[in-house]
Structure 1
């Protein structure tokens, strides 16, 4: 195929992916009460499962905790004429993207796979399933861990008792969206490392060399998005560090397979 033919093929894959997101988003649009009252506004209430979990831990250890408060000391408001409608539209679109992520991956795979050898396609079986599972795990981690921890900290933070937190709906929804999508993409780290190793940009030696730097970056990231206590930071940091270690193992496996292939080709030439 020519370059323009490839672009045309890519265009149709993008169109189908966009249509899938729009269709799912339209369905989500009519589920307004569930999307907002249950999902988006869930972390703003103290009966959210994450708050109860951390409250039980703090109580069992004999500590006072903001997770045990009756309610969070802030209100969510809308200050724009079309603010609530706009939030409804964007929440539906992002719901469409998250739910339709496996199909988007499927379209991406259909575009890439014709350029692979038969053996490479066989070795990549399960790509869509594994990548989707990792993405959804990241989404759940972002929603149930990162979002409530950041909301609890930022929503209760005050520089003065005379200043009250009245949070705009768009700002609140953006906080959850960024946490959820960012964690979903972050959990794709093993898949990303797999392909980067295949093209020779990453090796286990490089990842081991910069592991200490990665640890510092993860801890800083955890400190920024969580309340200022060590327990919360460790809870956020542990899954990311585990993913990093898994990525090192995957990178080593890929290089080992590539070395076997090269050795086999060398024998065949002899």
Structure 2
């Protein structure tokens, strides 16, 4: 944290820092666009794999609907690719404020960001999505069900992408602890509020039955406790270095 504070006056003006931040943001946006275009090349194969278990073809209500669906699918891939790029750009932005050891430590979090996002997406797709879809299909037994491509994939992504970001929690907490922005005491004080927010999130995205709620709430609360534990570990290491 001391390094970050001192870095403001380390050879760069406030305007210079803003210009550096702008360049990092632009680079990240370019990476997203390039990834989006690359994913779009293979989006038909992705679409066919995702609808492999459906008994019916998805309907479209307008010619533009399929473009919207393809952009959604390619966008998720682009986000997954861009997350480590964004993490690297953030690391390069704060790098001058870090010691050599801090630079190596924080750099190691970047691959974890991509891995945790993919784990979260997988959890949403293989656990939450089929559970919620199955519940809703049982509720619609008395209706003729026709899925449109746009509604179907919007529903799927709503059940998966948020978990990709939620699963980033441990890596982000460790990173912010390393920078001195967070510490275990703050996380412990915020535990009740965090539990409440995570519980509300879980209840809102799962079917209205206690089993489904528990299946989602428990992993989210476990993620928070893992984040607190990792924060304590990083904080203790920092204290030992400070003493030495």
TM value normalised by structure 1: 0.71
Determine the structure 2 residue equivalent to 1:253: 233
Q: Distance in 2 between matches of 1:217 and 1:233?
A: 14
Is 1:193–1:202's contact at 8 Å kept on the other side of the alignment? yes
**SS across alignment from 1:166:** coil
**SS across alignment from 2:159:** helix
Q: Distance in 2 between matches of 1:222 and 1:253?
A: 28
- Is 1:236 the equivalent of 2:211? no
Within a 5 Å distance, the mapping from 1:75-224 to structure 2 comes to: 76-158=58-140, 161=142, 163-198=143-178, 202-208=182-188, 211=191, 214-215=194-195, 217-224=197-204
Cα deviation per residue 1:76-99 (whole Å; 9 max; x = unaligned)?
432234111222233223322223
Q: Distance in 2 between matches of 1:20 and 1:199?
A: 25
Indicate the structure (1 or 2) with the bigger Cα radius of gyration. Answer: 1
1:33–1:113 CA distance, 2 compared to 1 (3 A): same
Q: Distance in 2 between matches of 1:183 and 1:95?
A: 15
Give the root-mean-square deviation of aligned CA atoms: 3.0
Is 1:29–1:88's contact at 8 Å kept on the other side of the alignment? yes
1:195–1:156 CA distance, 2 compared to 1 (3 A): same
**SS across alignment from 2:146:** strand
Q: Distance in 2 between matches of 1:121 and 1:32?
A: 37
Q: Distance in 2 between matches of 1:120 and 1:10?
A: 20
Matched residue pairs, number? Answer: 233
Cα deviation per residue 1:13-67 (whole Å; 9 max; x = unaligned)?
233322332223223222233121113x35x63xxxxxxxxxxxxxxxxxxxxxx
1:31–1:117 CA distance, 2 compared to 1 (3 A): same
Q: Distance in 1 between matches of 2:236 and 2:38?
A: 46
Aligned-residue offset at 1:138: 1.2
> Is there any run of 5+ residues in structure 1 with no aligned partner, and where?
46-70, 265-270
TM value normalised by structure 2: 0.77
Is 1:28–1:35's contact at 8 Å kept on the other side of the alignment? no
Is 2:88–2:107's contact at 8 Å kept on the other side of the alignment? no
- Is 1:10 the equivalent of 2:28? no
Q: Distance in 2 between matches of 1:164 and 1:261?
A: 65
Aligned-residue offset at 1:186: 0.7
Q: Distance in 1 between matches of 2:109 and 2:182?
A: 19
Determine the structure 2 residue equivalent to 1:60: none
Aligned-residue offset at 1:143: 1.9
Aligned-residue offset at 1:213: 5.4
1:259–1:7 CA distance, 2 compared to 1 (3 A): same
> Is there any run of 5+ residues in structure 2 with no aligned partner, and where?
1-11
